[in-house]
Amino acid sequence: MKRVFLATLLAALPFAGPAADAAKAKQWLSQAQAAYSAGKVDEALKFATDAVAADPQNAEALYVRARLHEARNDHAKAVADYSEVIKLTPDAAGLYQRRGTEHFKLGNIKESIADFDKFISLAPGQEPHHWQRGISYYYAGRYEDGRKQFESHQTVNQNDVENAVWHFLCVARQHGVDKARAALIKIESDRRVPMMQIYALYAGRGTVNEVMDAVRAGNPGPGELNFRQFYANLYLGLYYEVTGEAKAAREHITKAAKDYKLDHYMWDVARVHVQLLEAKAVK
């Protein structure tokens, strides 16, 4: 969450309560902004909650509180607040995008797709960019829809190994690894390490050892090493899973989620994947 709230969206969210309540809410929101800018997220959340209490129909206050719940990884509360804002401003496309990502982080896959669909219906130009919907399609078992989404994303993001990999996974689930390999989207260069080694593995001309050697190459610092370890383990796990090696798949994806945390949506993908595996094991 950025230090400055999204002014463009906030400008579209009207105050709905009486003038006096709106004035109180505005004061609390100003204090919430100041607290957040100082890195005091919990204090900012308290002020935002005071703003909502002063004016429960204030869309801006609810939106700010939802963003703060996001910052604290309290996804259920973020979804609840976004739902209230949507009732007040149902045509604000960005709200469905944000609620959709929070639904995904809760493992609510179908709900995330519904929100992403609504977002795209309100902002159709964003459809090719929407790789998150493609990932949700994958977890929903909608592999043909996922394949189409990643092919569409390729038109706006030509050198992203991750897009090619998720396309591969969707095709492999439908038609097998050989056909997925034959249909693998061509990637010329992805500068992130070890993405090109991951790509070579999926293409059938690389090895797991080459991926892990790339992770350690060049003596990376702690942050870069964590980044490399996360992506290597996530995509090795997904590769093992789709090629029928369930034990190795679980080990790598669990390592990605539990040992190499990132402040990124893809870390939530790994975490949700582990949750789904654990839920399946209980059944």
Q: In this model, does residue 3 exceed pLDDT 80?
A: no
Is the CB of residue 48 less than 8 Å from the CB of residue 63? no
Is the CB of residue 102 less than 8 Å from the CB of residue 92? no
Task: Judge whether 208 lies within some domain.
Answer: yes
Q: What domain count does the chain have? A: 2
Confidence of residue 18 (pLDDT cuts 50, 70, 90): low
Q: In this model, does residue 10 exceed pLDDT 50?
A: no
Confidence of residue 282 (pLDDT cuts 50, 70, 90): confident
Of 72, 62, 133, the C-alpha closest to 103 is 133
Confidence of residue 15 (pLDDT cuts 50, 70, 90): very low
Task: Judge whether 209 lies within some domain.
Answer: yes
Is the CB of residue 162 less than 8 Å from the CB of residue 269? no
Q: In this model, does residue 200 exceed pLDDT 80?
A: yes
Confidence of residue 96 (pLDDT cuts 50, 70, 90): very high
Confidence of residue 49 (pLDDT cuts 50, 70, 90): very high
Q: What is the pLDDT of residues 249-268, one digit of tens each?
A: 999 999 999 999 999 999 99
Q: Beta-carbon neighbour count of residue 213 at 10 Å?
A: 12
Task: Judge whether 129 lies within some domain.
Answer: no
Task: Judge whether 275 lies within some domain.
Answer: yes
Please identify, among 90, 125, 145, the residue that sits at the C-terminal boundary of a domain: 90
User: First CA to last CA across the chain, in angstroms?
Assistant: 36
Task: Judge whether 262 lies within some domain.
Answer: yes
Q: What is the mean pLDDT of the chain?
A: 93
Q: In this model, does residue 1 exceed pLDDT 90?
A: no
Place of tokens 């097998």: 176
In this structure, what CATH number is given to the domain that contains residue 44?
1.25.40.10
Would you call the peptide bond into 124 cis, given omega within 30 degrees of 0 as the criterion? no
| pLDDT (average), residues 188-208 | 98
Of 181, 169, 12, the C-alpha closest to 88 is 12
Cα Dmax for the chain: 68
Task: Judge whether 77 lies within some domain.
Answer: yes
| pLDDT (average), residues 54-64 | 96
Instruction: Report d(CA 32, CA 36) in Å as an integer.
Output: 6
Give the domain extent around 247. 191-283
Please identify, among 71, 90, 109, the residue that sits at the C-terminal boundary of a domain: 90
Instruction: Report d(CA 222, CA 216) in Å as an integer.
Output: 11
Confidence of residue 20 (pLDDT cuts 50, 70, 90): low
Q: In this model, does residue 197 exceed pLDDT 60?
A: yes
Q: In this model, does residue 141 exceed pLDDT 50?
A: yes
| Tokens at 99, concatenated | 């609620």
Residues of the chain above pLDDT 70, percent: 93
pLDDT reported for residue 281: 85
Instruction: Report d(CA 160, CA 129) in Å as an integer.
Output: 12
- The residues near 227 (Cβ < 8 Å, ≥ 6 apart) are 192, 260, 262
Task: Judge whether 97 lies within some domain.
Answer: no
Please identify, among 55, 90, 125, the residue that sits at the C-terminal boundary of a domain: 90
- The residues near 76 (Cβ < 8 Å, ≥ 6 apart) are 106
Residues of the chain above pLDDT 90, percent: 90
- The residues near 281 (Cβ < 8 Å, ≥ 6 apart) are none
Is the CB of residue 38 less than 8 Å from the CB of residue 44? no
| pLDDT (average), residues 95-100 | 98
Task: Judge whether 143 lies within some domain.
Answer: no
Q: Among the listed ranges 20-24, 126-130, 161-165, 231-235, which one has the minimum average pLDDT value?
A: 20-24
